[in-house]
């Protein structure tokens, strides 16, 4: 599966930066990737934080590893946690 990777930086409620990638199937619109990112924020207690195309920017297309493809097929998206993520 080809997937689109959206590089995302969100300011958390404590003012620190949270860096993660929202990964979706390549044909999914940018707006849907942002919606998925907001869902993730809600699950980690950061709902209501600003997340727009400015915070969530398209980065590249790549072939999804098996575990990422499985998660996308089950949930519509995969979050690659990087810096400042719980």
pLDDT, tens only, 26-39: 999 999 999 999 99
- Parent domain of 60: 2-81
In a domain, 52, yes or no: yes
In a domain, 14, yes or no: yes
Q: Is 42 helix (H, G, I), strand (E, B) or coil?
A: helix
The CATH number of residue 70's host domain is 3.10.510.10
pTM passes above 0.85: yes
Q: Is 45 helix (H, G, I), strand (E, B) or coil?
A: coil
- The number of beta carbons lying within 10 Å of the beta carbon of residue 44 is 14
pLDDT in tens, 42-86: 999 999 999 999 999 999 999 999 999 999 999 999 999 999 998
Nearest to 5 by CA among 18, 24, 28: 24
In a domain, 70, yes or no: yes
In a domain, 40, yes or no: yes
In a domain, 86, yes or no: no
Instruction: Provide the pLDDT for residue 11.
Output: 97
Number of domains making up the chain: 1
């Amino acid at each position: 599966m080809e997937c689109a990777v959206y590089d995302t930086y969100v300011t958390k409620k404590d003012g620190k930066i949270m860096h993660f990638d929202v990964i979706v199937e390549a044909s999914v619109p940018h707006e849907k990737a942002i919606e998925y990112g907001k869902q993730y924020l809600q699950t980690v207690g950061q709902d209501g934080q600003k997340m727009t195309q400015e915070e969530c920017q398209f980065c590249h297309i790549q072939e999804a590893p098996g575990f990422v493809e499985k998660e996308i097929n089950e949930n519509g998206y995969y979050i690659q946690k990087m810096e400042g993520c719980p």
